[in-house]
């Protein structure tokens, strides 16, 4: 009989997609180990009943998905059964608790890189409506990146006990005070949705007067309301689930996951950037990088010499044209590798690489593992 792993979930409809991505990662590792995964909603039992449930199921390990902050079951309830805490919202109070946590500095860095296209004159950051450690870490890391490049960074101040309508009204007043073409980082998608509403109230069209990036790439709010259109850093939730399952048979205490790619929508496009020609070049790269576009091809589309264009691009973007092309190709490769219907051998040609060897070398250099190893933990 196959061993059982128990995945304890808080059934929140608002982040159902996130839960599914994490569970996909758990199932992927469990399949390789011939484990049977059982799911249990925290809505269906009282914490005091957990020992009885465990005695009946006799799992080899448990994964407590506590990323919503509503429940974190103490280790004593699990007895001798290993438990992994998946994406807790803060530091757990139990010494030695084994966790899979988000690399919030890497998240802030990926958002900063996206927002820095066109060298915005200033930056701003919007935190979560509740004081959470992950949000503070993202705000702190983003501000540090702004200091490194010598650019100002406004921070929307937190106010305890504030209702949603009052927060959005105050946010709209704050947004009205931001400089033109400010680049705004919202620490997660709910904060970005609030920002989009506040920008409309403040009559500051996005992206014409500012650019905006959120985090999670989980846009639809609870209740199925219309989805505001903003770019978002997609986190590698599949990997988070995979690592949680893997830790059940390992000895490490902490594992980390981070950003996968940026889902680019309207909020980081348009004339809100300082150098429209560079933004146009970036759009062309995003559209044609996987069709074999080269740096020379791109330079030919703009006036002046290739050296002049590449120098202006590097000044605006902080990286070369070639690196930008390779980054887009690699992001597309990651997306294709997440689909089981796409053969690994077809990925290089579909992403515009000159050969399969070229992609494999770049992939191992950037990701630290082979494409086959990466796919084994990320298939949806």
- pLDDT recorded at residue 14: 53
Taking the C-alpha atoms of residue 379 and residue 377, their distance in angstroms, rounded to an integer, is: 6
The CATH number of 3-102+237-259 is 3.40.50.2300
- For the chain, 380 residues long, the average pLDDT of each consecutive 10-residue run is 84 70 88 89 81 92 80 86 91 89 94 87 94 94 96 95 94 96 94 95 91 85 58 90 91 89 79 69 88 92 91 81 91 84 88 92 88 76
Structurally, at CATH architecture level, domain 276-378 sits in Orthogonal Bundle (1.10)
- C-alpha 114: how far from chain center: 12
φ, ψ of residue 221 to 5 degrees: the values are: -75, 170
- Structure token pair of residue 45: 């039992």
Answer for the pair 123, 115: CB distance below 8 angstroms, yes or no: yes
- pLDDT recorded at residue 380: 46
Q: Do domains 3-102+237-259 and 104-235+262-268 have the same CATH topology?
A: yes
Taking the C-alpha atoms of residue 101 and residue 97, their distance in angstroms, rounded to an integer, is: 12
Taking the C-alpha atoms of residue 10 and residue 239, their distance in angstroms, rounded to an integer, is: 19
* H helix count then E strand count, the chain: 14, 12
- pLDDT recorded at residue 1: 62
- C-alpha 242: how far from chain center: 16
The CATH number of 104-235+262-268 is 3.40.50.2300
- pLDDT recorded at residue 110: 92
- pLDDT recorded at residue 326: 93
- pLDDT recorded at residue 334: 87
- pLDDT recorded at residue 374: 86
> Could you identify the residue written with the tokens 């803060």?
90
Q: What is the pTM of this model?
A: 0.81
Domain boundaries, the chain: 3-102+237-259, 104-235+262-268, 276-378
- pLDDT recorded at residue 272: 47
């Amino acid at each position: 009989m196959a061993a059982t792993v128990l995945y304890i979930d808080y059934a929140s409809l608002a982040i159902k997609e996130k839960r599914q991505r994490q569970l996909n990662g758990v199932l992927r590792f469990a399949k390789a180990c011939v484990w049977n995964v059982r799911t249990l909603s925290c809505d269906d039992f009282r914490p005091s009943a957990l020992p009885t449930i465990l005695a009946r199921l006799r799992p080899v390990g448990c994964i407590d998905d506590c990323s919503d902050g509503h429940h974190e079951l103490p280790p004593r309830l699990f007895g001798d059964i290993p438990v992994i805490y998946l994406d807790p919202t803060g530091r757990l109070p139990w010494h030695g608790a084994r966790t899979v946590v988000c690399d919030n500095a890497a998240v802030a860095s990926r958002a900063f890189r996206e927002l820095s296209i066109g060298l915005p004159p200033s930056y701003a950051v919007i935190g979560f409506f509740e004081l959470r450690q992950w949000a503070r870490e993202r705000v702190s890391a983003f501000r540090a990146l702004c200091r490194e490049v010598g650019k100002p960074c406004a921070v929307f101040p937190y106010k305890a006990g504030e209702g949603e309508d009052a927060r959005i009204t105050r946010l709209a007043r704050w947004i009205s005070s931001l400089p033109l073409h400010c680049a705004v980082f919202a620490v997660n998608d709910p904060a970005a949705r609030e920002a989009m509403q506040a920008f409309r109230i403040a009559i500051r069209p996005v992206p014409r007067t500012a650019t905006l990036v959120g985090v999670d790439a989980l846009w639809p709010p609870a209740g199925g309301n219309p989805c505001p259109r903003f770019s978002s850093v997609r986190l590698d939730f599949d990997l988070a689930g995979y690592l949680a399952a893997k830790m059940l048979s390992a000895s490490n205490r902490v594992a980390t996951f981070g950003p996968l790619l940026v889902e680019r929508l309207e909020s980081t496009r348009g004339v809100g950037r300082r150098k429209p020609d560079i933004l146009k070049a970036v759009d062309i790269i995003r559209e044609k990088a996987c069709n074999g576009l080269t740096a020379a091809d791109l330079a030919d589309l703009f006036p002046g010499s290739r050296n002049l264009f590449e120098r202006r691009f590097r000044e605006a973007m902080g990286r070369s044209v070639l690196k930008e092309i390779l980054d887009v190709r690699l992001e597309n490769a990651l997306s294709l590798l997440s689909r089981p219907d796409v053969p690994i051998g077809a990925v290089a040609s579909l992403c515009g690489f000159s050969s399969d060897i070229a992609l494999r070398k770049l992939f191992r250099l950037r990701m630290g593992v082979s494409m086959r190893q990466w796919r084994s933990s990320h298939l949806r």
